[in-house]
Structure 1
């Protein structure tokens, strides 16, 4: 599917092709192509409000970019969750998504475009997680529910933000230094996490959910 706005969002660099999936395994592309075909058929499900079109996520190698980071669901109406969306994938998606596909937000979070740009600008310091509504739905889109950010500080962050909670320091860093600056409000939840692949680094989850 070609968007009339694509020319205003050119590619910034050539993105390497993603390795081909092993033979015999159902790829994300194959799953989404089947869902799009079924949705467009006579028995397809459509939301009350359109557009009743399916398949823009199949364009321009998007399934191949997302396949390594998603947990695909065969149910076309269920979300496909992703994690560890890092700077290279973020840059590739920015080069492929039309502006209209970058405005989605989750429960007051920064827009998808803002989060992708911040991730590109700070490689190794931000990764995103969220979900994709695939081509089996009329409202197909990619939504980032939150970010993991690296912030080397031993802060006191409490679950219910009791007196003395220092979450505002972390949120100010995310806005002012990392550029996550178009959210409607602060995250609903902030907590420290352990990353097995980076045991000596301090990471925090910012979640709008």
Structure 2
């Protein structure tokens, strides 16, 4: 059976490099639709004037997990490294550095910790869009890698509360707090879980404040 020729605008048929006619099966598939950037998404959904976070989205974009579905949705980020933390520290309004997730260290503290300890501390949290009155960037916690006490610490989570200062949870947090200068936290994280870095395979610990 003869192959189907593909007409070219202006007349004639497009031919393959070998001199034969190009078949429909040989036509390159169209490129997929580019993913909408976070800024494009927020501007599309926005129902109020633009806010200060829009100027920082390009820094956070590589670490954002998904796109909000409406103008009230938050956007979560994780694995924020020291390079991005340094750019945020340079560009964030000073008053925004004091933002805290309940009893967690302030946004400024965790960003400084990441910059001061490249590869050892990464930040996770969320962004609240400009369409909300509480627009902000919030750090919910950190991931700690290569901490000297990791091998000695057993898993502690919300189902295993720690009320005493002598428990392993509190001892681990005290060491992390002292090592990375997280003095403005109100209390230890509610969740501490083992974590393996997706990029490097290094073992670490995920700390989260509810």
Alignment TM class, shorter chain as reference: 0.7 to 0.9
Indicate the residue corresponding to 2:44 in structure 1: 34
| Aligned partner of 1:168 among 153, 170, 176 | 170
Q: Tell me the alpha carbon deviations over residues 18-61 of structure 1, each in whole angstroms, 9 at most, x when there is no partner.
A: xxxx984321121222334x224xxxxxxxxxxxxx411122xx
Q: Report 1 or 2 for greater relative contact order, CA contacts < 8 Å, sequence distance ≥ 6.
A: 1
| Count of residue correspondences | 171
More moved, 174-183 vs 120-129: 174-183
Question: Is the radius of gyration larger for structure 1 or structure 2?
Answer: 2
Change (3 A) 1:158 1:63: closer
Q: Show the counterpart of 1:50.
A: none
Q: Is the 8 A contact 2:156 2:191 kept in 1?
A: no
Deviations along 1:89-138, one digit per CA (max 9) or x if unpaired, are: 00000100111111111121001011111111001001111110012212
User: Alpha carbon RMSD of aligned pairs, Å?
Assistant: 2.1
CA deviation after TM superposition for structure 1 residue 68, in Å: 0.8
1:3-152 correspondence runs (5 A): 24-36=34-46, 38-40=47-49, 54-59=50-55, 62-70=56-64, 71-150=66-145, 151-152=147-148
Tell me how far 1:168 sits from its aligned partner: 2.4
Whether the 8 Å contact between 1:158 and 1:165 is mirrored in structure 2 is no
Which runs of 5 or more structure 2 residues have no equivalent in the other structure?
Answer: 1-31
Residues 56, 23 of structure 1: alpha-carbon distance in 2 compared, 3 angstrom cutoff: farther
